[in-house]
């Protein structure tokens, strides 16, 4: 990055010298040189922007975005209560751009990867409602699903005159409740790296109009019943899965005991 800026400065300095040296030339020549200088400046700015963008790489069942990594493992079988599919990750996505890159690059290509992005979208919504809603629009199978989720999260995660800060109904830690190791007694402190554990559902797989519906569980200790039902849809011909339904992932969980430390 420093080398790009240094090279750019030298090129621009040369362009300035050219423009200055040609002040006695005709206006067309000066305009040409000025245009070249402006083009060079734009190119340098583009190079600097690209140098600042995190690198995205997929290696087998792992995708990295900058220094964040996400790994998909396991598969679903007939065990309905024991976790057999997992997604582990070092950090929650920092913004929509990372969420989108991770979804399109790897996680959205599997049932468990798509389901694991539910707590990611919930956490991003809690941090910034506009960003979170954009994430849900990418992740979910249509605006009806998104509006149903957002309507609840708006009251569950964001303090307001109807649910002020400190009201037990406001559960800022809801995303953490879906992670392995987190429970009310340890103030929803999940294991590291973060892990979403999943199992098959006896509701199984169904062919529906336009695609396939698969029912699974996210297994979490934030509720009396660990099994959080999730319905995942894949449209015919699409390599990506979508969340069709997941209301048990954002219903009232157990109230926290202690102070929540937050998520990375």
Q: Are residues 197 and 117 in the same domain?
A: yes
Q: What is the pLDDT of residues 16-35, one digit of tens each?
A: 444 455 455 566 656 665 56
pLDDT tens, 178-195?
999 999 999 999 999 999
Distance between CA atoms of 201 and 165, rounded to whole angstroms? 36
Residue 217's H or E segment, with its range, is strand 211-219
CA end-to-end distance (rounded Å), the chain: 26
User: Do 91 and 30 share a domain, yes or no?
Assistant: no
- Does the pLDDT of residue 142 top 80, yes or no? yes
pLDDT at 34: 59
Is 60 exceeded by the pLDDT of residue 49?
Answer: no
Residue 260 lies in a domain: no
pLDDT of residue 164: 82
Among 86-90, 156-160, 186-190, whose mean pLDDT is lowest? 156-160
Q: Is the peptide bond before 193 cis (omega within 30 degrees of 0)?
A: yes
Co-location of 217 and 94 in the same domain: yes
Distance CA 172, CA 43 (A): 43
User: Does residue 262 lie in a domain region?
Assistant: no
Instruction: Tell me, yes or no, whether 259 lies in a domain.
Output: no
> What pLDDT, on a 0 to 100 scale, did the predictor assign at position 52?
66
Domain assignment of residue 255, yes or no: no
State the helix-helix crossing angle for 143-157 and 129-139, rounded to 10 degrees.
150
**Token code pair at residue 133:** 């809603």
| Host domain of residue 117 | 56-249
Query: With contact defined as beta carbons under 8 Å apart, do 213 and 206 qualify?
Result: yes
What is residue 237's DSSP assignment?
A: T
SS percent in the chain: helix, strand, coil, step 5: 40, 20, 35
Supply the pLDDT for residue 14.
45
- Do 128 and 238 fall into the same domain? yes
Quote the number of domains for the chain: 2
- Flag whether 254 is in a domain: no
Task: Check residue 263 and report its DSSP letter.
Answer: -
If asked whether residues 42 and 158 sit together in one domain, one would say: no
Question: What pLDDT does 32 receive?
Answer: 62
Give yes or no: residues 47 and 64 share one domain. no
Residues 213 and 230: beta-carbon distance below 8 Å: no
In the structure, what pLDDT confidence band is assigned to residue 160 with cuts at 50, 70 and 90? confident
What pLDDT shows up at residue 98? 98
- pLDDT above 80 (res 79): yes
If asked whether residues 20 and 130 sit together in one domain, one would say no
In angstroms, rounded to a whole number, what is the distance separating the alpha carbons of residues 67 and 218?
26
Question: Which alpha helices (DSSP H) does 83-214 contain, by range?
Answer: 96-105, 111-127, 129-139, 143-157, 174-177
- Do 42 and 129 reside in the same domain of the chain? no
Comparing 41-50, 142-151, 199-208, 243-252, the range with the smallest average pLDDT is 41-50
Nearest Cα residue to 168 out of 250, 256, 247: 256
Q: Are both 15 and 75 inside the same structural domain?
A: no
Which residue would you say has higher pLDDT here, 153 or 53? 153
In this prediction, residue 3 carries a pLDDT of 45
Percentage with pLDDT > 70 across the chain: 80
Percent of the chain residues topping a pLDDT of 90? 76
Same domain, 16 and 124: no
Average pLDDT over residues 153-179: 90
Specify whether 43 is located in the same domain as 133.
Answer: no
Q: Are strands 194-208 and 85-89 parallel, antiparallel or unpaired?
A: antiparallel
Task: Supply the Cα-derived Rg of the chain in whole angstroms.
Answer: 24
pLDDT of 4 reads 45
Instruction: Look at residue 48 and tell me whether its pLDDT is greater than 60.
Output: no
Q: Are residues 38 and 60 in the same domain?
A: no
**pLDDT given for residue 111 in this prediction:** 98
State the Cα–Cα distance between residues 52 and 248, nearest whole angstrom: 39
Does 200 map to a domain?
A: yes
Mean pLDDT of 65-83: 97
Give mean pLDDT, residues 51-76: 94
What average pLDDT score do residues 127-156 get?
Answer: 97
Give strand pairing partners of 211.
208, 235
Please tell me the predicted confidence (pLDDT) of residue 243: 98
């Amino acid at each position: 990055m420093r080398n790009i800026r240094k090279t750019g400065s030298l090129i621009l300095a040369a362009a300035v010298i050219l423009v200055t040296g040609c002040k006695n030339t005709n206006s067309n020549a000066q305009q040409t040189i000025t245009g070249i200088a402006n083009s060079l400046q734009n190119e340098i700015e583009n190079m600097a922007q690209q140098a600042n963008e995190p690198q995205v790489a997929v290696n087998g069942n792992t995708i990295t975005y900058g220094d964040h990594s996400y790994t998909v493992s396991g598969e679903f079988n007939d065990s309905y209560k024991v976790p057999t599919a997992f997604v582990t990750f070092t950090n929650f996505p920092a913004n929509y751009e990372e969420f989108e890159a991770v979804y399109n690059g790897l996680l959205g290509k599997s049932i468990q990867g798509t389901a694991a992005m539910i707590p990611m979208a919930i956490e991003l919504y809690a941090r910034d409602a506009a960003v979170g809603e954009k994430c849900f629009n990418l992740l979910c199978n249509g605006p009806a699903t998104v509006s149903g989720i957002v309507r609840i999260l708006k009251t569950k995660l964001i303090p307001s005159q109807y649910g002020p800060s400190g009201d037990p109904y406001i559960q800022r830690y809801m995303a953490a409740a879906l992670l392995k190791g987190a429970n009310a007694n340890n103030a929803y402190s999940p294991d590291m790296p973060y892990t979403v554990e999943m199992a098959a559902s006896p509701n199984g797989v169904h062919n529906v109009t336009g695609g396939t519906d698969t029912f699974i569980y996210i297994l979490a200790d934030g509720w009396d019943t660990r099994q959080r039902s999730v319905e995942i849809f894949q449209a015919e011909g699409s390599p990506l899965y979508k969340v069709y339904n997941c209301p048990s992932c954002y219903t009232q969980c157990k109230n926290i005991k202690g102070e929540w430390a937050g998520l990375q």
